[in-house]
């Protein structure tokens, strides 16, 4: 028998609802738990200045990130369609801001993130198969092409792969936590002994540690970009987003708890590879720690790469459907029922960037812009709740408390990033607005001409 939902989607040239709760969680966890956790333990340890504060920083930092997912849950239940932040700005009544959100995402943040992750996979793979130069870039390109075809050919197949790879990337962390619990040293566990030469102690150090964890929790709202392809989104989006936050929180707190029982704060703060150092202290894993961690890193980053290639092209697809991006991006492949053009173009841009230099610098220029998008997204709650058409099937607890907390956490990051790189941030803002607004008004003029 034919699937009536699929038939309707085909007839309307739209994407069908083919993904369930598992895909929502896989996208959120798969995007959030990336290569950053392999270095962030050291960064947070340096900021928090004690093992006790290290664990508390991840616990409190994670709890403070939960409100962001509550916000996304409400927004996604109100507008269960593809596009994520773009849709929320549009529905809040700001088409120019909605356009700028997608414009910056396409040209500045999304393709570079794919490029950087592909290169990271190959760098870890080089531990087993030494490679460098052009060979390394070619292999990175192959990874992008592989996952481009996976997500191009089937939404269901891509969703299943994402679920499997996310489970695989979590498994090694669970193994380290589970086995590590049996070998912890009570003298270092949750120790309040300060880091040697610590510049800050007490509540100041704890607050610094909490701030340093924020990037580790970024990405949990990834599934919002694909709300239009989730079955029963009024139920599965809120459940999936909240479960994502709880899973990531449990994983990070468990990892830092075990770290505090196996390593001193000085060892954690000084290490360039804290996860590898942690694994080396566990007798069962010990001698093969480098191999284990290299394999972990490859799986972890593959999961993040796959997730980004899967959800990121949906924002341009949604914009094109509204006449705010090149119309080809709104096309749905007649056979595969995926936004094929949008996926292919984003991956092609990423491949070009793989062969460019200073990708991390390019991404850094737009960090403040990306954070500002998040800040304004949470702010749309205040506008949307006053609009008659805003009818979410899920309402977050605490009234406006959750978006206030989410905005405060994001504002902290914006401030710290701006202080660290003020000039690049200003340049990025000027470039984004200077190129985006003319493009917006040009497309709106074309829309008006077409309507005549």
66-79 pLDDT per residue, tens? 899 999 999 999 99
Q: What is the mean pLDDT of residues 81-90?
A: 94
| C-alpha distances out from residue 136 to 124, 141, 306, 322, 337, Å | 11, 9, 19, 39, 33
* HSE value, Cβ hemisphere, 13 Å, CA-based, for 353: 27
Q: What's the rounded Cα separation, in Å, for the pair 309 and 344?
A: 9
Q: For residue 423, what pLDDT is reported?
A: 75
DSSP 8-class letter at 14: -
How many Å apart are CA 261 and CA 51, to the nearest integer? 9
The total of other beta-carbon atoms located within 10 Å of residue 123's CB is 18
Rounded-to-10 torsion of CA 358, 35, 195, 279: -140
DSSP 8-state class, residue 19:
B
So what's the pLDDT on residue 10? 45
Which pLDDT value is given to residue 445? 87
Place of tokens 């173009």: 345
Residue with the larger pLDDT of the pair 1 and 255: 255
pLDDT, greater one: 192 or 26: 26
What is the per-residue pLDDT for 11? 46
List, in order, residues 6 or more apart from 90 with CB less than 8 Å away: 83, 98, 322
For the cut 70, the answer to whether the pLDDT of residue 449 exceeds it is yes
Q: Distance (Å, rounded) from C-alpha 218 to C-alpha 221?
A: 8
* pLDDT for residue 1 is more than 50: no
pLDDT at 341: 95
Tens of pLDDT, residue by residue over 310-326, are 999 999 999 999 999 98
Nearest to 296 by CA among 165, 134, 106, 198: 165
* pLDDT, greater one: 198 or 150: 150
List the alpha helices (DSSP H) in 355-421. 359-365, 367-384, 401-420
| Per-residue pLDDT, 364 | 56
Q: Which of 309, 267, 60, 278 is nearest to 161 (CA)?
A: 309
Q: Say what percent of the chain tops pLDDT 70.
A: 93
User: What is the average pLDDT across 1-15?
Assistant: 52
- Say whether pLDDT at 171 is over 70: yes
Per-residue pLDDT band for 361 (boundaries 50, 70, 90) equals low
């Amino acid at each position: 028998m034919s699937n009536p939902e699929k038939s309707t989607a085909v007839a309307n040239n739209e994407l069908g609802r083919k993904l369930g709760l598992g895909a929502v969680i896989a996208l959120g966890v798969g995007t959030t738990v990336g290569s950053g956790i392999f270095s962030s333990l050291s960064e947070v340890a340096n900021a928090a200045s004690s093992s006790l504060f290290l664990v508390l920083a991840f616990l409190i930092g994670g709890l403070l990130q939960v409100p962001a997912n509550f916000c996304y849950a409400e927004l996604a239940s109100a507008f269960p369609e593809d596009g994520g932040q773009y849709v929320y700005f549009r529905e809040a009544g700001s088409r120019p801001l909605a356009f700028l959100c997608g414009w910056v995402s396409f040209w500045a943040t999304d393709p570079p993130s794919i490029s950087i992750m592909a290169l990271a996979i190959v760098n870890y793979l080089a531990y087993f198969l030494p490679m460098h130069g052009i060979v390394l870039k070619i292999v990175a390109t192959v990874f992008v092409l592989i996952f481009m075809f996976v997500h191009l050919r089937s939404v269901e197949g891509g969703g299943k792969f994402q679920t499997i790879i996310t489970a695989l990337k979590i498994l090694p962390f669970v193994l380290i936590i589970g086995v590590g619990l049996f070998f912890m040293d009570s003298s270092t566990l949750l120790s309040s002994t300060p880091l040697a030469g610590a510049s800050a102690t007490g509540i100041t150090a704890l607050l610094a540690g909490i701030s340093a964890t924020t990037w580790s929790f970024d990405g949990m709202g990834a599934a919002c970009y694909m709300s239009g392809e989730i079955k029963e989104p009024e139920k599965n989006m809120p459940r999936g987003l909240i479960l994502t936050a709880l899973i990531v929180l449990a994983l990070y707190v468990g990892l830092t708890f075990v770290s505090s029982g196996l390593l001193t704060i000085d060892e954690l703060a000084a290490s360039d590879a804290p996860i590898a150092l942690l694994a080396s202290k566990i007798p069962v894993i010990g001698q093969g720690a480098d191999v284990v961690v290299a394999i972990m890193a490859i799986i972890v980053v593959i999961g993040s790469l796959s997730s980004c290639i899967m959800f990121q092209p949906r924002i341009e697809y949604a914009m094109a459907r509204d006449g705010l991006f090149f119309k080809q991006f709104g096309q749905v492949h007649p056979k595969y029922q995926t936004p094929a053009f949008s996926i292919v173009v984003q991956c092609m841009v990423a491949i070009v960037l793989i062969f460019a230099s200073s990708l991390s610098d390019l991404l850094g220029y737009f960090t403040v812009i990306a954070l500002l998008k998040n800040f304004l997204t949470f702010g749309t709650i205040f506008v949307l709740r006053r609009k008659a058409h805003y009818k979410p099937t899920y309402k977050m607890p605490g009234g406006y408390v959750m978006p206030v907390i989410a905005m405060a956490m994001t504002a902290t990051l914006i401030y710290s990033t701006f202080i660290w790189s003020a000039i690049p941030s200003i340049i990025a803002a000027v470039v984004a607005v200077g190129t985006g607004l003319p493009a917006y008004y040009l497309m709106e003029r074309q829309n008006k001409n077409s309507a005549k």
